[in-house]
Amino acid sequence: MFKSDEGAANASSEVASSVQDSVGELPLPPDFVWGAATAAYQIEGGVHQDGKGPSIWDVFSHLEPSHTSGQHGDVACDHYNRVSEDVALLASYGVDVYRFSISWSRVIPLGGRTDAINEKGIGFYNDLIDRLLSYNIKPVATLYHWDLPLELEKRYGGMLNTAEFQADFSRYACLCFSRFGDRVKQWITFNEPYIISIYGHHSGVLAPGHHSSVEPFRVGHSIIVSHAAVVEEYVTGFQKCQQGSISIVMNGDYYEPYDASSEADRAAAQRRMEFYIGWFGDPIYLGADYPASMRNQIGSRLPHFTKSERELLSRTASSNSFYGMNHYTSQYARARTASPAQDDCFGNVDELHINSDGVAIGPLSGVSWLRVTHHQFRKLLCWLWTRYRRPIYITENGCPCPGENTMTVEEAVDDQFRIRYFGLYLDAISRAIYEDGVNISGYYAWSLMDNFEWSAGYGIQFGITHVDFSTFVRTPKKSAYYLRESLKRRKEMGSMIGKVESKTTFH
């Protein structure tokens, strides 16, 4: 999870606020799965343990002056040494699934296709997976959650070299399929390619910290092609015997027009979503070129797919069997009147939290960029379903409570704001399923526990579990038990709906 305030235009005051909706506790299908999500660098720690190699984040988080609030993930939540405790915690929450990421440099310390495998790293993930299964929790594995082995950045610039990166990523992925795929049945190749590209290579606020107007599009191209290559590797070499699924996880806000009566703002809202989501979604899920709006504005900065790359995307588009979506908030989009700047990556759009009538898009959470926008979340689900027609898994969703970073443990665990956020977003999923006909299969809350939140360090808490970073004591928050009980009730209600529909259909 990551979002930056950089480039966002903020109104000086909120003239009006959003209506405070109540939670309806609406039904969900009985086979709807829920769980919690984490990422390796954010929770594992164990930076030098058992032969792990360095990643770009191990360097970036130690730069001076600091880019990460003077903090780093060397120990993080110490999950590497507390895995049994954390899996037992997950089980106590009644989750169906657990989404985690594999640290590439823990299993191949140098990362390359001819480099040595670290069997102790393999053993750690085998142990994690086996522990999950012992509690009947399904493991969902992300191959790349931002922690590129440092050596690959040094050798050839990492994702800036498409051919080299693709070859190394394919070898790493196939190693994971071969060692873990007998038990892992849902694979995710990359987490949030937009964030990797823009915030790692344009604004430079994430590793590797580059500032460029061209690199984001080269990196995005490498991710798309490497994803498709690995999907083909999985489908042709592993899927038949392992019976799993594979896709990618993309993030995205929904954009409302700043002035709903303005044709320019309506077009800006659509264009912003194409720059954000269509950039990756159209080639991966449709086997298509980049959106025309991007071609028109980005020009020569946007790479062209070669003939062989187009053929690869065409072959693999249908093999992406689900749409993984990370979503937190939404915004208003206002068309800029001037021509786009030479380094613009956003579609020549201003992003705002307040519209032309002075109405805020939603109540503010514990961080300035995240507002409660469940109505727009439902609209986004419909937009994605209409465009890509894949079953949707919400692979990250959550929020920090206002003032949570200064609360005592007792105050932090009584996280009523987060509970309401979860309830409203689950209601939006229900409405999208039953009223809009969207196929939504699962919901993975971000995050299992408070952790290292990238450039924000430990200053933002998204966890459903409180972590004391001096003692590493985990304390469940009320939201964890709310999710356990709410999902149980909602699925029971969904089961009754199914029974009524069955009687109506067959009798």
d(CA 9, CA 335): 12
Average pLDDT of adjacent 10-residue blocks, the chain of 507 residues: 53 47 96 98 98 98 97 98 98 98 98 98 98 98 98 98 98 99 98 98 98 98 98 98 98 98 98 98 98 97 98 98 98 97 97 98 98 98 98 98 98 98 98 98 98 98 98 98 98 84 40
Q: Which amino acid is at 48?
A: H
Listed in sequence order, the residues at least 6 apart from 389 whose beta carbon sits closer than 8 Å to its beta carbon are none
Return the pLDDT at 4: 64
Q: How far apart are CA 70 and CA 372, in angstroms?
A: 29
- Token couple for 351: 């992003």
Catalytic residue among 233, 274, 309, 396: 396
Task: Tell me if residue 277 falls in helix, strand or coil.
Answer: helix
396 is catalytic: yes
If one counts every other C-beta atom within 10 angstroms of the C-beta of residue 409, the result is 13
Q: What share of the chain is helix, strand, coil (3-state, %, to 5)?
A: 45, 15, 40
Domain boundaries, the chain: 33-336+346-506
E strands, 319-382, are: 323-326, 330-335, 349-352
- Between CA 116 and CA 497 the distance in angstroms is 54
pLDDT at 20 (0 to 100): 75
Q: What is the pLDDT of residue 499?
A: 60
Q: Give the three-class secondary structure for 478.
A: helix
User: Active site includes 192?
Assistant: yes
The amino acid at residue 243 is Q
Predicted pLDDT at 477: 99
CATH 3.20.20.80 fits 33-336+346-506, yes or no: yes
Pairing status of strand 254-257 against strand 465-467:
unpaired
The b-or-e profile of 77-102 (16+ CB within 10 A means b, else e) is: bbbbebbeebbebbbebbbbbbbbbb
**Structure-block tokens of residue 54:** 């360095």
Q: Considering the candidates 192, 215, 233, 351, report the single residue annotated as catalytic.
A: 192
Angle 377-380-381 from CA coordinates, rounded to 5°: 90
Model pLDDT for residues 291-330, shown as the tens digit of each residue: 999 999 999 999 999 999 999 999 999 999 999 999 999 9
pTM as predicted: 0.96
Rounded Cα–Cα distance for residues 252 and 191 (Å): 12
Structure tokens at 229: 């290559």
Of 109, 134, 133, 110, nearest in space to 122 by CA: 109
User: What H or E segment, with its residue span, contains residue 483?
Assistant: helix 478-506
Give the model's pLDDT for residue 505: 38
